[in-house]
Chains A and B, each alone.
Chain A
Amino acid sequence: MRELALHILDIAENSISAGANRIEIMVKQDTRNDELCLSVMDNGKGMDEELLAKVMNPFITSRTTRKVGLGIPLLKQAAEACNGGLTIESEPGKGTRLTAKFQECHIDRMPLGNLADTFLTLLLGTPEVNFVLDYQVNDEVFYFDDSEVKEAIEGMSLTDYRVIEYLTNTIRDGINETKKYAIKQGVDHAHD
């Protein structure tokens, strides 16, 4: 995968499979400490230690654990290659939080990519789940909780063209404004 945003989408799919009805995506670019941190937190069914060990290791996968794919090991490898790492905290019945950290300006660090499209895919394509996006660049924050929108249009389809237009603009603009702030601060985001 060529974008961190695609990895985020992949990880969030795991949360949906785990039966979560609330998924919070956080991306934090802290240029002062040269760190990029992303996390996906859900209230799904969680994992016990045995399963946790399996999802971290790509070589344990077998037919019976078919649901355990390559997504997490791939992201782990990408993070470790950039002086970072990947951690998963999970509790059966409570939920899971996956966190990946990267050295922000590492030469091999994948670009963040299209975070807006990742979030829109999840939000519009999975209307029954409450999605939250928390995107931070240093002190600038874009926080979006879709429950307000979903409540406001209750009974209407999320894929009404006017709703699509509104959500696309709101999320894209919110992310872009936050990025612009980073550029103003003299942060080199050439590869984002």
Chain B
Amino acid sequence: MPTINSIEDLKRLREEAQKIKEMRDQAGKTQIVVGMGTIGIAAGARETLKTILTFIEENHLPDIILRQTGNLGLSGMDPVVKVTLPDQEEVSYCKVNPDIARKIMQDHVVDGNVLTDYLLKV
């Protein structure tokens, strides 16, 4: 970072610091992504996402980033849920109904055990 000469520089400095902070924050959190393409929605992806939200709410789970995204291009496998625990590889689950979603939240997200029965095999 060059010398700070103006308010604008200061603002840029703050923005950069913010970005680094965000990246660090991201790394310490569990990421959950639910595929929400047309087929996913028709297969119940909204209910799957709602179940995950309710689980977070009821169990007061901290540090979770939940996202929905358009088609993941895995037709026939919907609803698809991807889970990434901090410092671990992404794990993809397929045909996740609300019951399986609750299991994933309890066993994988809370207890750290991957549920091999529901893994997406490509």
Contacts and interface: CB of A to CB of B under 8 A. Distances in A.
- Interface residues of A, dominant DSSP: helix
A87 to B, nearest CB: 20
Q: How large is the interface on A (under 10, 10 to 19, 20 to 34, 35 or more residues)?
A: 20 to 34
A161 interface: yes
B57 A16 contact: no
B67 A125 contact: yes
Contact of B34 (A10, A125, A159): A125
Contacts of A69: 37-38, 71
Q: How large is the interface on B (under 10, 10 to 19, 20 to 34, 35 or more residues)?
A: 20 to 34
Given A6-B41, A69-B38, A117 B65 contact: no
A184 to B, nearest CB: 28
Interface of B: 29, 34, 36-38, 41-42, 46-47, 49-50, 53, 56-71
Interface of A: 1, 6, 9-10, 13, 16-17, 69-71, 74, 114, 117-118, 120-122, 124-126, 157, 159-161, 164-165, 168
17 contacts: A1-B41, A6-B41, A16-B70, A69-B37, A114-B46, A117-B46, A118-B46, A120-B53, A124-B66, A125-B36, A157-B29, A157-B64, A159-B53, A164-B56, A165-B57, A168-B53, A168-B57
Given A120-B53, A126-B68, 20 more contacts: A1-B42, A13-B38, A13-B41, A17-B70, A69-B37, A69-B38, A69-B71, A70-B38, A117-B46, A118-B46, A121-B50, A121-B68, A125-B49, A125-B67, A157-B65, A159-B53, A161-B58, A161-B61, A161-B62, A164-B56
